[in-house]
A and B are shown apart, each in its own frame.
Chain A
Amino acid sequence: MSLKTPIQPAAEPPPGPLEPRSFHLRIDPLLVVAVVGLCLCSLLTIRDATADDVAGQPLYYVIRQGIYCVVGLGLMYGVSRIDYSRLRELKYAIYGLMVGTIVLVYALGSAARGSKRWIELPFFRFQPSELGKVLLVLAVAAFITDRMRRFDRETTARVLLLALFPAMLVMAQPDLGTSLVYVVGVLALLFVAGAPWKHFAALAALGVLAVTLTLTVMPAVGVSVLKPYQVARLTAFLNPSANPGEEGYQQQQSKIAIGSGEKTGRGVEQATQTSLNFLPEHHTDFIFAVVGETYGFAGAALVLSLYALLIWRGLHILTVAKNLYGALIAGGITVMLLFQVFVNIGMTVGIMPITGVPAPLLSYGGSSMLVTFLAIGLLQSISAQARETAHKKGRAPLFQ
């Protein structure tokens, strides 16, 4: 590791020219536009969808989501002020915190709908597996950075083990969707770090083998890895019309909701799929379907564009990062967000199975919102550090 490094660390860099820091440059404005835009869409849609959910309090969910947005924006700004590079030193603590909180759920998590995912806090229900998404990227990116000098099979295997352990814990909660996000995030880290193509080919082969095992061979010998409802969801998506049951029903209703929105939407009053509760989980997992029904293709396309803006800025920040650690974090976070967006929206439009992955910054929920803001704060920090470094060295960023 660093002790073996033959090159001695450079002494303190000579003090740069003492000019006032230009603060207005230090966060990426386009990223802020995407985030704030998505928050506004989220608040508007939640207001439409939940007006009748809590008797006497039509703004119950809106107020809470609004608080999460405001707190989250503050969190994002705060995180953007710190130098993410220092987090590399804390990799063991971060990894330990992630595993520890996830294990804690088993100890004192409250049972809800057959799954234990939450820890009850005084203000909201904290979901450690959400926070784990960011912590995992931070820790594993640090491990990869340390082993950059020899990127062999062992490195890839170790990194994957680091990711699979928490992914298994989360999968056992059971939360299949989030554990997939973990795996995808770490694969993205390996990809950005430059793992050889051979490794990915081997992984793909292993993956096919594992899926075959869990879905066909293991149930045949009587070991069920997935809960029955998870299998039902996965298969319902493959053949919705032959599934009159609960899972196929949800997806069918979601498709009807989106389709009936047509070009410009049915408006809040006419959105019967939402208001008559045909649409399940209309403020959390299926919120995009509410957007589609209420505001039509125009609204759905706007939300998609905001997501595209978000992903583009993430990839851009990846290219300008001042060091490898930053590039890895940016890559991991961006791909995780992309994956969540695609899985969630894909679920509502009927091209992906139902996995319970929330739409980032759109679905109602404190843990998901705050963690997404934390992740975007990290992106901002990487961007800000890159600008500052470039500024010190008198170089402009690659492109602005």
Chain B
Amino acid sequence: MAPQSPLDDRRPAITPQLALRVAMLGGVAFALFAIVFFRLWFLQVLSGEEYVSQARENRVRKVKIEAPRGDIVDRNGTPLVETKEAAVVQLMPNELPDVEREIADTYQQAVSAAERDRLAARERLRALERRERERGKREKTRARTSSALERRQRRELRSQARRARRVAVPPLPPDAVEARRLYQRLSRVIDLPESIIHKRVVQQLALTPYAAVTLKTDVGRGAYNYLLERQTAFPGVRPSKTYIRSYPRKEVGAQLFGTLAEISPQQLKLKRYRGVDAGTRIGQGGIEQTYDQWLRGTDGFTRVSIDAQGRPRDEIEPTVRPPRQGNRVRLTLDSDLERAADRAMQEAIGRSKYAGAVAGAYVALNPETGEVYALGSYPSYDANLFAKPISQEKFDELNSEERGAPLFNRAVKAGYATGSVFKPITALAALASGRLSPGDVYVDTGKFCLGTQCRQNAKGAIYGATDLVKALRVSVDTYFYNLGLRLNDAEGRPLQTWARKLGLGHPTGIDLPDEEAGLVPDSKWRNGGFAKYERCRKKRGLGYQSQAALFACGGIDRPWTAGDNVSMAIGQGDLQVTPLQVAVAYATIANGGKVVRPHLGEAVENGAGALVQELGKGARRRVRIDPSHRAAILEGLRESASAPDGTSSAIFKGFPGTVYGKTGTAQRPPNPDQSWYAAYVNEKNRPIVVVTTIERGGFGAETAAPAACRILSKWYDYNAPCASGTAAQ
């Protein structure tokens, strides 16, 4: 510490100079306060009345001008999502026929009555359940006995509590001539049946009584101009402009973008939507949601003076702040590859020998950076369907299982057993934990028995002496069963640990909302679930492994056994993995230990194309993978796709580059097998990992491998034949 200068500890006598200056400061302060006081006196006391009348006449209204959202383009700048101006036809609420308002009131009352009934049913159901619970508590030892009547009652209540009964919109009464005539004429112009016009008017009036009723979005230019020119002939009808999304490449990447909808009351409270007004349409789901803050523009406004009748006063010039369009988001996606992948899936599904094969998923990403080149679920749908209000029937159809649920993005939201594509992970876990070295030979007899339960290789094959490379090349199940058994009692559960290290069992962190975490089963999970099952089963007095217990207490009806680890070693059992997680795991093995965070966003750009913000950087983990272990696994994968007896070599015959690939065939009883393929290729300095899977696709080499081959062939501009093979799984 420096010695303090004596100035510091000496109390200065107030020098005349300081006194003068403090007095001057005081004088200035006094003067400033005096100025403000007199100004206030002038404003509030002397001219207060004038300002009061100004405040009373202050009828300025701010009218929002919606800002268009930014576009979404692919890595080459091809537009995927654009904003276009669309004409809407609206009915002004104050000029609607009174009869509609009455009908809307009746309808609203009926709807609330239905909702009240639903709530009442829910209350009754709760009471019933509580009573049964308590009865069960009192008679601890005896099984809960509910009569058939009670059970039926409960079933009915449950369905009533779930959904309010539908209320039909009352029809337009015959004496509402005026409204009927207007609707008739409108119906011809905008090509919408009268009954639908009536229904929309009533439903929207019931919901928001004072807002304009939107009859149709994106009406044709002809109809728009016709209505615009004949305003007097159509009282209360207002044609105006709004912005809607358009998707020039239709189904390409449709599941990735999400839709737009008005911000919900819950979202309004979130920090990330600070500054967003109620009624603003924001991204809901997908890229639109993740990058909403960049895509959303800044709304403008007009400030208009309004007279006592609520009409804009012409003599006063309105002030305007023009809206600003949102930024453009550039994706890492390659839309041509995405479309090629869609086609490859379609073709592969057509080749499946099983009936009902409709759906699959694919992922293609850069194993070094995590840039996603293609990602999606087949079947896709035309994204333009969601640019306008969609009918319930159409929406249900897009969700139906039979049609492959096009809205569902399997690549990130579906957890599956992976079958043999999991084997490299098992191999890595065994090598890293020291339980295996690449040269170890296992003699396959075609059978692997654990206790009394024996498992065979696919198609009953017998392979004899097998080392790691051969085991991966021809996919020897018994070799990996053996590893699974040996790893079950190994210190630290290496199989589970390595699966998690490579990104399984938790979300990959891709920039899409609601990603599936998947499940890496272990003894803790299964034994915990079983303990819960047993408690629940005993409390209700249900039989062990009985169907009633299954429904009431969940499906974990036995503790963990070595067999569970054996199943997991070949990607079966309770394992749940998304195609994207498989891609991340393969990327990690391929790049030598970088667990990338897959991302679709590449950059945010402004209107002039200048970079505003880079996306997707940062956040990746490293795991230590011994180079010799990696080399052994890659060698097995290479031979699998190229050696004469490799599982997918027939498909990649004629493919110019080196492919490291693995087939997979996941059993999903009672459904037919699911086909998988995972591949890594690093040609032309454009490394890529491709994962494909097809539900009900059969063996990996039958459908998924040809699809992956086509995607790779497109990526490298090869013209590979990708002939379908019938080799073993």
Binding site for B on A (CB under 8 A): 1-3, 5, 7-10, 54-56, 85, 88-89, 145-146, 148, 188, 191-192, 194, 244-246, 249, 253, 255-263, 266, 272-273, 276, 278, 292, 296-297, 300-301, 304, 307-308, 311-312, 315, 318-319, 322-325, 327, 331, 334-335, 338, 342, 345-346, 349-351, 386, 389-390, 393, 398
Contact = CB atoms under 8 A, between A and B. Distances in A.
Contact of A55 (B54, B265, B319): B265
Contact of B11 (A258, A296, A311, A389): A389
5 pairs of A and B residues whose beta carbons are closest in the complex: A259-B51, A262-B48, A260-B55, A297-B44, A259-B43
Nearest to A57: B269
B7 A246 contact: no
A255 B32 CA distance: 19
B403 interface: no
B302 to A, nearest CB: 12
Given A9-B4, A88-B8, A297 B45 contact: yes
Main secondary structure of the interface of A (DSSP, over half): helix
A3 B379 CA distance: 82
A333 to B, nearest CB: 12
Contacts of B54: 256, 259-260
A315 B10 contact: no
A322 B11 contact: yes
A342 B8 contact: no
Contacts of A259: 43-44, 47-48, 50-52, 54-55
B319 A194 contact: no
B5 A300 contact: no
Given A300-B40, A319-B22, A338-B28, 9 more contacts: A1-B2, A3-B3, A246-B319, A258-B51, A263-B48, A300-B44, A304-B37, A319-B14, A319-B18
Given A244-B319, A263-B48, A323 B10 contact: yes
Contacts of B278: 55
A297 B4 contact: no
Contacts of A335: 25
B303 A349 contact: no
B44 A263 contact: yes
B112 interface: no
Contacts of A324: 7-8, 12
B615 to A, nearest CB: 16
A292 B60 CA distance: 21
Contact of B29 (A10, A191, A296, A315): A315
A61 B51 CA distance: 29
Contacts of A311: 29, 33
B319 A2 contact: no
B40 A323 contact: no
A349 B278 CA distance: 32
26 contacts: A188-B25, A192-B22, A194-B18, A246-B319, A257-B55, A260-B48, A260-B54, A262-B48, A262-B49, A272-B56, A272-B58, A278-B58, A297-B45, A307-B33, A319-B14, A319-B19, A323-B9, A323-B12, A324-B7, A324-B12, A325-B8, A331-B25, A338-B29, A346-B39, A351-B35, A351-B36
Contacts of B303: 249
B4 to A, nearest CB: 6
Contacts of A54: 269
Contacts, number: 172
Nearest to B44: A297
B21 A192 contact: yes
B525 interface: no
Nearest to A307: B33
Nearest to B268: A55
Contacts of B11: 322-323, 386, 389-390, 393
B607 interface: no
Interface residues of B, number: 53
A349 B6 contact: no
Contacts of B178: none
B26 interface: yes
B1 interface: yes
B2 A89 contact: yes
Interface string B602-644: 0000000000000000000000000000000000000000000
A56 B3 CA distance: 59
Contacts of B3: 2-3, 5, 8-9
B396 interface: no
Given A272-B58, A315-B22, A323 B8 contact: yes
Contacts of B319: 244-246, 249
A329 to B, nearest CB: 13
B6 A338 contact: no
A30 B500 CA distance: 64
A308 B41 contact: no
Given A300-B44, A319-B14, A278 B60 contact: yes
Nearest to B48: A262
Nearest to B40: A300
Given A273-B55, A315-B29, A398-B14, A297 B40 contact: yes
Contacts of A88: 4, 8
Interface in B289-320: 303, 317, 319
B7 A145 contact: yes
A8 B54 CA distance: 70
B8 A260 contact: no
Contacts of A245: 319
A327 B13 CA distance: 11
A2 B44 contact: no
Most buried by B among A249, A311, A386: A311
A57 B25 CA distance: 44
A272 B55 contact: yes
B52 to A, nearest CB: 5
B245 to A, nearest CB: 25
A304 B33 contact: yes
A334 B35 CA distance: 18
Most buried by A among B2, B43, B44: B44
Contact of B43 (A1, A188, A253, A258): A258
A308 B36 CA distance: 11
Contact of A3 (B2, B25, B45, B52): B2
Nearest to B58: A278
A177 to B, nearest CB: 16
A379 to B, nearest CB: 14
A145 B8 contact: yes
A262 B45 contact: yes
A349 B39 contact: yes
A9 B51 CA distance: 65
A390 B11 CA distance: 9
B583 to A, nearest CB: 32
Contacts of A192: 18, 21-22, 25
Contact of B45 (A9, A148, A263): A263
B453 interface: no
A301 B48 contact: no
A1 B222 CA distance: 85
A15 B9 CA distance: 15
Given A10-B9, A323-B7, A398-B14, A260 B36 contact: no
Nearest to B271: A120
B375 to A, nearest CB: 30
A255 B54 CA distance: 10
A146 B3 CA distance: 12
A304 B29 contact: no
A253 B303 CA distance: 13
A246 B9 contact: no
Interface in B65-120: none
B17 interface: yes
A2 B2 contact: yes
B8 A85 contact: yes
Contacts of B35: 346, 351
B2 A338 contact: no
A104 to B, nearest CB: 19
B58 A256 contact: yes
A8 B19 CA distance: 29
A148 B265 CA distance: 61
Contacts of B185: none
